[in-house]
Amino acid sequence: MVKVGFYQGCCFQGQDAHMFETMKETFRRIDVELELLEETTCCGGNTIDEENRKLSYAINARNIALAEAKGLDMLVSCNTCYMVIAKAKLALDRDEELRREINNLLKEEGLEYKGTSKIYHLLDFFRDVVGYEKIRKAVKRPLKGWKVAAYYGCHVLYPKEVAIDNSDNPSSLQEVLKALGAEVIDDYEHKDSCCGYHSFFTDKSMTLKKLNKILGSVKKVGADIVATPCPLCFKSFDIYQTNMEKPPMVPSSFLPELMAYAFGLDRKSSGLAHHLVKVEKE
Amino acid sequence: METVKLEVFRYDPEKDKAPYFKEYEVPVEGTLLNALLYIKDNLDPTLAFRAFCRSEVCGSCSMKVNGKTKLACKTPMRELYETWKGKPLKIEPLNHMKVIKDLVVDIDKPIEKMKTLIPWLVPDPRVVPTDPMHESIIYPEEMKAYKDQIHCMLCFSCYSACEAVEDNERYRGPFAFSKAYRFQVDRRDIETAKEKRIRYAISGGLWSCVQCQKCLYVCPKGVKPAEDIQNLRGQAVRKGFTDKPGAKKLKHFVDWIYATGQINRLYLPEEVYGNREAREKLTKAYESMGVEVWEVPKPTKGLMKFRDIYLEILSREEKALELDFSHVRKIDKLVSDVFKADICTIVDKVHQKEEKTKGLIGRLKELFGGSDG
Ligand code: SF4
Ligand code: SF4
Ligand code: FES
C-alpha cells in the first residue's frame, strides 16, 4: 500500500462531493491509500494570480506545507491545480526570499514550506508510482470495444517546467486507457486544442468555439467517448457542451471514472451515470 | 549515418495551385536548421525558409514540426527523432500568417496588431529629462519588473501556437501583450499611455486568452506572455475596468476563496453573467440523477488562519480588487444556513458532525459493496 496526500481542490464539491469516495475506492484497488488533505484550499485556479501572484504562491505554499506536515507526497487530480501548485513550488524552491516571507506567515498556523514533498498529477503518479501493470491487474470489466479518444488538456503538458510527459508526443494517458482494455484513439485533428474551460467566464465565445472543434473532430473519428485526466476539461465537455447552439452530444469522462468502472464499480458509483451528456456505451 | 524523413511544406503562390509536401532524407544530427540547410545545399536549392543568426537571436527560423511550433536553430534533430520515434517529421510554416513561399510567412499582420498596443515608451516628462544631454537612469531594481519581456525577439512562435489567436481574429497575440506589459511597469512611461494601453488591450482581446500556457511552452526566450496577460488583467481591474465578465469572475474568486477557501462553481454563472437559472437548472439536473448537490463548499478546519494569511498578503501587496466584505458576509450566511451554525462554530466542529457526508459515504459503501466483482 502506498500512501499519498490527496489534494482535492474545488473539483469534489457541489454535484461532485461524492467523487472523492469513488476516487478512494478506485485507488484502493491499485494499492494506494488516499489521505485527504482536508485543510487545503482552492489553488486559486490560475485566476488569483490576476489579483496578486504572491497570494497565489502563499495559498499554495500552505497547501503543500499541509502535505509536508504529514510527511506525504501530494497527488493532484486536476490539470490546472497541478500546474498552479507545481509553478508555485518552482517559484518557492528558486526564491529564498519569497520562501522566507511566506513561511513567516505560515508560522502562525504552525506550518512551514520546506520543499520536501513531491507534487504528482494522476498521469505521472500512475506511470511512476503505481505502474500500468497494477492497473491492468485491477481491471475486472475490461473496456472491450470502447473507442476512447485520449484528451490530455493543456496544463499537464505546458509549460515545459511542470510538464509530466513529453509535451509534443505524450503517451501516459494512452497507456492507462490501454491498461483498462480500451481501444485508444489518439490521432484526431483537435486533440491538442484547449478545452476552453478557463475562458467560459471571461469570453464564453472562445469556449464554445473550442468545444465545437474538439468534439467535432472526436465525433469524426468515431470515438464512443472522450477521456481526460482533468476534471475541468471534463466539465467543459460535459456541462459547457450543453451551452452550444447545436451540441454534438459527445459523451466524455474524467479518467478515474473510467478506471472505477473498469475496476468493477457500477455506473452510478463510478460517476458515469451522472453526466449531462449520457454515456451510452456499456 | 542515421537519417530521418522530412515532409516539407512547399508552396509558391505564383506557380503552384495548391500547397504540397515534398520528402527529403536528412541526417539525424545538429539542429533542424542544419537539416534544412543540408537540403538546400545537397538536395534541393529551391526550398525557401528564413534563418539568419543560427543562434537563437534573430527570431527568423520559427516553424512547425508535426504541428508543434519550434525554433529551427534551437531544436536538435536528435530530440525530434526521439520524440517522434523515428517517424517522418512534417515541417510546416507558422500558423495564422500568409505564406509567402514554402516556410516563409508574412509577419506584417502580427506586427501591425502589436503596434496597436503602443509597445514603446511614452516618456513622462516628470521622470525622463527632456534635455537630451541629461541621462535617463534606470536602476537594476527597476529592470527586474521587465527583465524577461525585453528578450522577445519577435519570432512569432507564440503567435502561431496561440489558442486565442486561433479563434479570435482581433486577438493581438501573446508577444504583443508582453511587449505592452513591459511598458506598463516602466516608471518612465507616462500614466496616460498606461491607461490607453489597457483600453487597447481590452479591445484587443485581453479577456479572450484561454490561459493554455502554450505561449510559455514555445517561447525560446523564456518570456511568459500568459502571466503578463494575467498581470494586465489585474491592472485593468485595478484601473476600474470592472464591467467585463472576467473582472466579475476575478471578484468571485477573490471573495469566495477568502470566505470559504474555495470557489463556488454553482454561483459563478449568477455572479458573472447574472444567470440565476443556471444554478437551479444544474442542481435539478443532478438531483434528478440521484446526485446530492452541496450548494456551498464545506469550510475547512484551518479556515480562520487561512483568512489571516490571505488578508495579510493583500494588505501588503498591490492588488486588482479590494476584498468585498459585504459579499463575504453574504457568503458566510449561505454557509451557516446550510450547516446550521455560524461560520466559526462550523470551522471548529465540522469534523465531528459531518452527518451529510456520513450519509453519502454510507450510501457509496453500499454501492461499492453491491458492484464489486
Ligand atoms: S495562454 Fe493565452 S496568450 Fe498564451 S497561447 Fe494560450 S491563449 Fe494564447
Ligand atoms: S514572446 Fe517569445 S515566442 Fe513570442 S515572439 Fe517573443 S520570443 Fe517569440
Ligand atoms: S536563425 Fe536566428 S533565431 Fe534561428
Tell me how far apart the terminal alpha carbons of chain B are, to the nearest angstrom. Answer: 54
> What confidence category does residue B134 fall into, taking pLDDT thresholds of 50, 70 and 90?
confident
CB spacing of A268 vs B308 below 8 angstroms = no
Do the Cβ atoms of B291 and A21 come closer than 8 Å? Answer: no
Residue A225 has pLDDT above 80, yes or no: yes
B238-273 as b/e: b if 16+ CB within 10 A: beebeebbbbbbbbbbbbbbbbbbbbbbbbbbbbbe
Task: Report yes or no on A280 lying in a domain.
Answer: no
Residue B167 has pLDDT above 90, yes or no: yes
Residue B370 has pLDDT above 70, yes or no: no
Gap from A147 CA to chain B (nearest CA, Å): 23
Taken in order B335, B337, B343, B348, the sign of the CA dihedral is: negative
Mean pLDDT (chain B, rounded): 92
Do the Cβ atoms of A198 and B210 come closer than 8 Å? Answer: yes
> What confidence category does residue B365 fall into, taking pLDDT thresholds of 50, 70 and 90?
very low
| Mean pLDDT confidence for A148-160 | 98
- Who contacts B223 (Cβ-Cβ below 8 Å, separation ≥6)? B148, B149, B151, B152, B158, B175, B178, B215
- Ligand 3, atom nearest to B50 Cα: 1
pLDDT of residue B350: 54
CATH fold for domain B3-105: Ubiquitin-like (UB roll) (3.10.20)
Residue B215 CB less than 6 A away from ligand 1: yes
pLDDT of residue A14: 78
> What letter represents residue B55's amino acid?
S
- Would B3-105 and B108-238 be classified into the same CATH topology? no
List of E strands, B66-126: 68-71, 89-92, 99-101, 104-105
Q: Which range is least confidently modeled, B33-47, B209-223, B306-320, B348-362?
A: B348-362
List of E strands, chain B: 3-10, 20-27, 62-65, 68-71, 89-92, 99-101, 104-105
> Max CA-CA distance within chain B?
86
- Co-location of A197 and A259 in the same domain: yes
- Co-location of A116 and A169 in the same domain: no
- Who contacts A4 (Cβ-Cβ below 8 Å, separation ≥6)? A32, A33, A34, A35, A72, A73, A74, A75, A120, A125, A129
DSSP β-bridge partners for residue A75:
A6, A120
DSSP β-bridge partners for residue A168:
none
Q: Domain residue spans in chain B?
A: 3-105, 108-238, 245-367
Residue B372 has pLDDT above 80, yes or no: no
Do the Cβ atoms of A119 and A89 come closer than 8 Å? Answer: yes
Task: Report yes or no on A133 lying in a domain.
Answer: no
Distance between CA atoms of residues B102 and A24, nearest Å? 54
Task: Report yes or no on A193 lying in a domain.
Answer: yes
CB spacing of B320 vs A51 below 8 angstroms = yes
Task: Report yes or no on A65 lying in a domain.
Answer: yes
pLDDT tens string B245-269: 999 999 999 999 999 999 999 999 9
Residue ending a domain, among A96, A122, A148, is A122
What is the bridge-based pairing of β-strands A74-76 and B3-10? unpaired
DSSP β-bridge partners for residue B69:
B64
Distance between CA atoms of residues B325 and B310, nearest Å? 13
The backbone region for B222, taken as left when phi is positive above 0, alpha when psi lies in -120 to 50, beta otherwise, is left
pLDDT of residue B294: 84
What is the bridge-based pairing of β-strands A147-150 and A183-185? parallel
Q: How many structural domains comprise chain A?
A: 2
- Co-location of A62 and A102 in the same domain: yes
Percent of chain B exceeding pLDDT 70 equals 93
Question: Where is A74: in which H helix or E strand?
Answer: strand A74-76
Distance between CA atoms of residues B78 and A87, nearest Å? 28
> What confidence category does residue B278 fall into, taking pLDDT thresholds of 50, 70 and 90?
very high
Between positions 25 and 84 of A, the ones with CB within 8 A of B are 25, 38-42, 44-55, 58-59, 62, 83
The helix, strand and coil proportions of chain A, stated in percent and rounded to the nearest 5, come to 50, 10, 40
- Co-location of A151 and A262 in the same domain: yes
| Mean pLDDT confidence for B330-352 | 78
Task: Report yes or no on A225 lying in a domain.
Answer: yes
Residue A148 has pLDDT above 50, yes or no: yes
DSSP β-bridge partners for residue B296:
none
Backbone phi and psi for residue A102, each to the nearest 5 degrees, phi listed first = -70, -40
Between positions 173 and 232 of A, the ones with CB within 8 A of B are 192-194, 196, 198-199, 201-207, 209-210
| Mean pLDDT confidence for B319-330 | 97
Other C-beta atoms lying within 10 Å of the C-beta of residue A2: 14
| Mean pLDDT confidence for B173-192 | 97
Nearest CA in chain B to A105: B309
Task: Report yes or no on A127 lying in a domain.
Answer: no
Of A55, A157, A202, the CB nearest to B249: A202
Task: Report yes or no on A68 lying in a domain.
Answer: yes
Residue B300 has pLDDT above 90, yes or no: no
pTM, two decimals, is 0.95
- Who contacts B288 (Cβ-Cβ below 8 Å, separation ≥6)? none
Enclosing domain of residue A8: 2-122
Distance between CA atoms of residues A58 and B313, nearest Å? 8
Nearest ligand for residue B32 CA: 3
What's the CATH code of the domain at A62?
Answer: 1.20.1050.140
In chain B, residues with a C-beta closer than 8 Å to the C-beta of A41 are 257, 261-262, 300, 303, 306
Instruction: From B42, B39, B67, select the one nearest B51 (Cα to Cα).
Output: B39
CB spacing of B367 vs A198 below 8 angstroms = no
Taken in order A52, A55, A60, A63, the sign of the CA dihedral is: negative
pLDDT of residue A19: 86
pLDDT tens string B27-51: 999 999 999 999 999 999 999 999 9
Instruction: From A74, A65, A68, select the one nearest A105 (Cα to Cα).
Output: A65
pLDDT of residue B349: 65
CB spacing of A169 vs B305 below 8 angstroms = no
**Class of CATH domain B108-238:** mainly alpha
| Mean pLDDT confidence for A250-255 | 98
DSSP 8-state symbol, B299 = P
Mean pLDDT (chain A, rounded): 96
- Residue B361, classed as helix, strand or coil, is helix
- Co-location of A106 and A165 in the same domain: no
Question: Where is A173: in which H helix or E strand?
Answer: helix A172-179
pLDDT tens string A3-36: 999 998 888 877 888 889 899 999 999 999 999 9
pLDDT tens string A59-113: 999 999 999 999 999 999 999 999 999 999 999 999 999 999 999 999 989 999 9
CB spacing of A55 vs B310 below 8 angstroms = yes
Nearest CA in chain B to A109: B305
Backbone phi and psi for residue A12, each to the nearest 5 degrees, phi listed first = -115, 45
- Co-location of A73 and A185 in the same domain: no
Task: Report yes or no on A130 lying in a domain.
Answer: no
What's the CATH code of the domain at A245?
Answer: 3.40.50.11810
Q: How far is CA A192 from its chain centroid?
A: 16
